[in-house]
Amino acid sequence: MKKVNVGILGATGAVGEEMLRVLAEKNFPVNNLKLLASAKSAGKKVSWQGQEYIVEEVTEDSFENMDILLVAVGRAISKHYSPIAASKGAVVIDNSSAFRMDDNVPLVVPEVNPDDVVDHQGIIANPNCSTIIALTAVNELNKFSKIKRMIVSTYQAVSGAGVNGLMELQNQINSISQGKEVEINTFRYQIAYNLIPHIGPFFENGYSEEEMKMQNEGKKILHNPDLKVNCTCVRVPVLRSHSESITIETEDEITPDQARELLKNAKGVKLTDDLSNDIYPMPLDTSDQDLIFVGRIRKDFSANNSLALCCCGDQIRKGAATNAVQIAELLVERNLV
C-alpha cells in the first residue's frame, strides 16, 4: 500500500484524537502527517508513532500537497474548509453533517456501500454515528432480502455530545452523591439517572434532526429511495457506545435462525445472541473497539416478514473515527489518491 500525505482537521478534539489512534492501530501508510485545529489549539504538541507534531492553526493555505484530509470539526467549519482542501487536490473525508445529503457527495459505510467511493468529486461524507451502527448491523439482512421499513429507537451515550457531555454526567452523579445541587449546562435537563428523548433541534413534523438523519441517510447509503424509517433518539446516562433497538420489515421472510447465520460472518459485526447464557449487546462490551454487536434477534409478531434485534457500537470509533479511516483505506487500496 503506497504512502500518502494525511491531514486531520480538528486533531485535538475527541474524534480527531481517536482518528490518530485508529491510524496507528491500522498501520495506515502515512507519509507526512499534518495536524490542524483552531487558533485556540494551535501550538499544542502531539506524539504519534514515536514522533512529535505541532498542531497548526487551520488557514486556507493549509492543504498544499495533501492527499487525504480527515475532517473532525463542526458543520460550519467543514462547509468552509472542505471545498478549499478538495480544490487543492486532497480527498476530504468529512465527519460533519455538512455534505451528507449532497447529491454529488458519496455517503459511505465501507461494510455496506464501498463502491460509492469511486464517485467522489473531492469530498466523501461520513454518515451519522447512529446510522453507521444501524446499517452495519442490518446490511447482510438487507442483502438477503431488501428492507422495506425500519423502526429504530436509539439510546445514545453522553459522549455523543462531546467531552462536555461526559463531564456533565460525571459531575451530576458526584453532586447527587454529595447532596449538592445539580448543574445543567450541556443537556436540556439533568442526564444523571434520567433519559432525555431529545437529540438535536425539533422540526415541525415533531421529529428531531437526529431522528431524520436515520431516514434520509439510510435511503442514500442503501440506494433505496422507497425505504421507510421511523426513528426515536434518546440520550441515556451511559458514557460511551450507542445502543439501538431495530425492527425491520423485509420483502421476503427472514427467520431468526437465518438472520443469525447471515450475521455470524457479516463484515463489521459480532453476533452476541445467546439468551440461555444472557449474552446480548451492551455498551460496556462494545466500547473502545470497532465491531457492531448484534443480538436479541426475534420474530416481530405484529407484522409479516418482520424481524426485531438489538445492536450496540462505539460511536466515537466505528460511528466516527474508524469509519473515516476505513474510507481512507478504500481510497488507497483502489488507487483513488
- Collapse the DSSP code of 290 into the 3-class scheme (helix H, G, I; strand E, B; otherwise coil) and give the result: coil
Annotated catalytic residue: which of 120, 129, 233, 311? Answer: 129
The per-residue pLDDT for 2 is 87
CB 111 within 8 A of CB 139: yes
| Helix ranges, 58-208 (H) | 75-87, 129-144, 163-177
CB 63 within 8 A of CB 7: yes
The per-residue pLDDT for 163 is 87
Among this protein's residues, is 80 annotated catalytic? Answer: no
- What are the C-alpha distances in Å from 197 to residues 131, 168, 202? 17, 17, 11
Task: Kindly give the confidence (pLDDT) of every residue in the chain, 337 residues in length, as a single tens digit, with 9 standing for 90 and above.
Answer: 789 999 999 999 999 999 999 999 999 999 999 999 999 999 999 999 999 999 999 999 999 999 999 999 999 999 999 999 999 999 999 999 999 999 999 999 999 999 999 999 999 999 999 999 999 999 999 999 999 999 999 999 999 998 899 999 999 999 999 999 999 999 999 999 999 999 999 999 999 999 999 999 999 999 999 999 999 999 999 999 999 999 999 999 999 999 999 999 999 999 999 999 999 999 999 999 999 999 999 999 999 999 999 999 999 999 999 999 999 999 999 999 9
The per-residue pLDDT for 218 is 96
Among this protein's residues, is 242 annotated catalytic? Answer: yes
Of 84, 118, 117, 112, which is closest to residue 98 (Cα–Cα)?
Answer: 84
CB 256 within 8 A of CB 275: no
Longest dimension (CA), the chain: 59
CB 69 within 8 A of CB 123: no
| Structural domains of the chain, with CATH | 4-126+320-333 (3.40.50.720), 131-315 (3.30.360.10)
State the pairing for strand pair 242-250/147-156.
antiparallel
Annotated catalytic residue: which of 120, 231, 233, 242? Answer: 242
